[in-house]
Amino acid sequence: MCGIAGFCGELPVPAQARVILERMIHTLHHRGPDGYGFHVGSGIGLAHARLSIIDLVSGEQPIHNERQNVWTVFNGEIFNYVELRANLEQQGHRFYTRSDTEVIVHLYEQYGDAFVEHLNGQFAIALWDDERRRLLLTRDRAGIRPLFYTRATGNLWFGSEIKSLLAVLPQYATLDPLGLVQTFSYWGPVDPNTLFKGIHSLPPGHILAISDDGSETLTRYWDWNFPSLSEPASASRAYASVEDATVELRALLIDAVRLQLRADVPVGAYLSGGLDSSGIVALIRSFTETPVRTFSVAFDDAEFDESEHQAAMVRYLGTDHTTLHCSRRDIGEAFPQLIRHTETPILRTAAAPLMLLSRRVREEGYKVVLTGEGADEVFGGYDIFKEAKIRRFWAQQPTSTFRPKLLGRLYGYLDHSPVASEALAQAFFKRGLEHIDRPIFAHAPRWITSQRAVAFLSDELRASVGNWDPLTWYEKRLPADIMSWSPLSRDQYVEAKTLLAAYLLPAQGDRVAMANSVEGRFPYLDHRLIEFAARLPPSWKIRGLTEKYLLRRALAGLLPDEILKRTKQPYRAPDSQSFFFDGEPLDYVADLMGGARIRAAGYFNAAMVGRLFDKCRHNRAIGFADNQAFVGILSTMLLDESFLRRSGA
């Protein structure tokens, strides 16, 4: 696990290449504190910051092949490297390290650009073919590891984080209005967009090839893919019975966990008290010899705290466990550091406690943790999926008063539930009911609610994006055949491409763990599991209103009933309440949200922000929309403070 950076092309002063690479990679010290590595050649510069996990002695990067004409720097892990290496050695390849990185250069020699299809892992890779004068950049299928790039001074520049690019290209420290309105709608900028003009994020499951003449070719090598409803059941379903599917799913889960435990350092796991993370820990305990150390977050607020369920799992599994108690003040004080690592505004504070937890993990001597991220997207776990199922049932009879009552079975974990009042629930969830024949049907109410934050933007910034509609804009990016899929499949695809890829994996995954030099691993996002689940009938994912039905079956006997049957409770943290104490804001909040500072930045309407600030200050912001707007505005101002005003400092 590491950070990578570099450039492709000839520099005006070639002798400065090493100095430039050092400037870029030193900004990523938190991703790789165990050492730096460099390769400079004609037309290429590669840099690497190492977090030693596999082959602690000889695994330094950049890595090359036998003839030293293929070089790579790599961020992440190749979990099936043992099997790949054995196969490559049988075909005559010779290795000089024990690292997983070295399989990349030999796979490329063997299979060309198709090498990436053989990888089971989470990765961002830069590979230089010296003979063909060609650079390849690629990311893993789900988008777990980040990779950014831009063109400047006639060269292509890339890095694991945007700050590595700004270190040598400060002129790119300019906010992109489209990235901001996307964040305020989808919870994150949609690849390839970022919050910085001219800087792009390489989309998950893609390869970008840069040829010697400077031309670029972007190729998708993998995507979430679901069967058409018109396919015969025998063709679209992977298994004839739910019993057969359960057996196969457990076998896949065991193997995914086994592979992701590979490391030459101790491995820990997060334990939230829910089905997903508890399932990972139970699989480790039941099917491997690996000692497991578990970690969790507890909150003072009962609405967010899951420590009772965490304690039950610790007792049941007998793990050596550490709990981090996180207060509202802890969240508020850590928030500026969080935004320096996310490099993008966020609409919720939930990432801050995870960043603090990763710090505790590192303090306890661990560099690797397994987590339950991805299970909800893969197996249909979120309330949005059940909510959409009810709304589709309702849309068949829009005047029905009985059908929308089913919404009352959702959101029981919220103090201010959107279904607490039947009238308010019907008013909220009826929004977008007319979109039933559109692929974004499930997400329309959420995006419309989130986009209320767009109303706080200044007239100038809103004018710069024109009459932008989040529903229509996103639909144009969807697969042409998406309406041939089941409704649940459509909902899962959009969720995977927006919330998961744009917010959860970057802000609550890679960035908060790597802020403290910790690698997060996500067994549920093994591409074999994603492909397996995609071909399951929807009723094997959501049975009635029971989410993750098949996953629960696969984990039966490994978990206590109270966890196995527990309804999904999303991980959350206090939002606007984390920035005010006895009616007074934290000092930096008062400064950044003050009228003068808001007007100077020019992104927001100062009068509207002032009214929202007062509402939050007096603890009257209890709805999602107000909290998301406040956190989004504050985090944008922190981004401005950390990067835009100070040119990447």
* pLDDT tens-digit series, residues 596-607: 999 999 999 999
Strands (E), 274-422: 293-299, 320-326, 368-370
d(CA 245, CA 241): 6
As a whole-number percent, the residues of the chain with pLDDT over 70 amount to: 94
> Cis peptide before 189, with omega less than 30 degrees from 0?
no
Contacts of 13 (CB under 8 A, 6+ apart): none
Rg (CA), the chain: 24
> Annotated catalytic, 2?
yes
**What pLDDT, on a 0 to 100 scale, did the predictor assign at position 81?**
97
Across the range 113-131, mean pLDDT stands at 98
Distance CA 256, CA 414 (A): 33
Q: Where does the chain hold its CATH 3.60.20.10 domain(s)?
A: 2-220
Q: Is the pLDDT of residue 350 over 80?
A: yes
Closest CA to 195 of 521, 601, 502: 502
pLDDT in tens, 13-30: 888 999 999 999 999 999
Q: What's the CATH class of domain 233-378+497-564? A: alpha beta
pLDDT of 82-102, one tens digit each?
Answer: 999 999 999 999 999 999 999
Q: Where in the chain is the domain with CATH 3.40.50.620?
A: 233-378+497-564
**Which of 404, 410, 409 is closest to 423 using CA atoms?**
404
Task: Kindly indicate the confidence band of residue 566, based on its pLDDT and cuts at 50, 70 and 90.
Answer: confident
Would you place residue 649 in the very low, low, confident or very high pLDDT band (cuts 50, 70, 90)? very low
Q: What is the DSSP letter of 246?
A: H
pLDDT score of 327: 96
- Torsion, CA 575, CA 580, CA 583, CA 584, rounded to 10: -160
Q: What is the rounded average pLDDT of the residues 466-480?
A: 93
78-116: b or e for each residue (b if 16 or more CB lie within 10 Å)? bbbbeebbebbeeeebebeebbbbbbbbbbbbbeebebb
Q: What pLDDT is recorded for position 648?
A: 36
Task: Name the average pLDDT for the chain.
Answer: 92
Q: What is the pLDDT of residues 623-647, one digit of tens each?
A: 788 999 999 999 999 999 999 874 3
- Extract the runs of DSSP E, i.e. beta strands, from 285-327: 293-299, 320-326
Express each pLDDT in 311-328 by its tens digit. Answer: 999 999 999 999 999 999
| Between 236 and 425, the higher pLDDT residue | 425
Which architecture does CATH list for 2-220? 4-Layer Sandwich (3.60)
pTM score of the predicted model: 0.95
Helices within 431-564 (DSSP H only): 444-450, 459-465, 470-475, 487-495, 505, 511-514, 527-534, 549-555, 561-564
Cα–Cα separations (whole angstroms), residue 260 to 80, 284, 306: 9, 10, 26
Please return the burial class of 233, using the count of CB atoms within 10 Å of its CB with bins 0-12, 13-18 and 19+.
Answer: exposed
Q: Give residue 57's pLDDT band: very low, low, confident or very high (50, 70, 90).
A: low
DSSP run (H or E) holding 139: strand 134-139
pLDDT of residue 304 exceeding 90, the answer is: no
Q: Contact, 51 vs 1, CB < 8 A?
A: yes
Cβ atoms 29, 96 nearer than 8 A: no
Mean pLDDT, rounded, for 138-160: 97
Q: Containing H/E element for 42?
A: none
Residue 166 and residue 173 in contact, taking contact as beta carbons nearer than 8 Å: yes
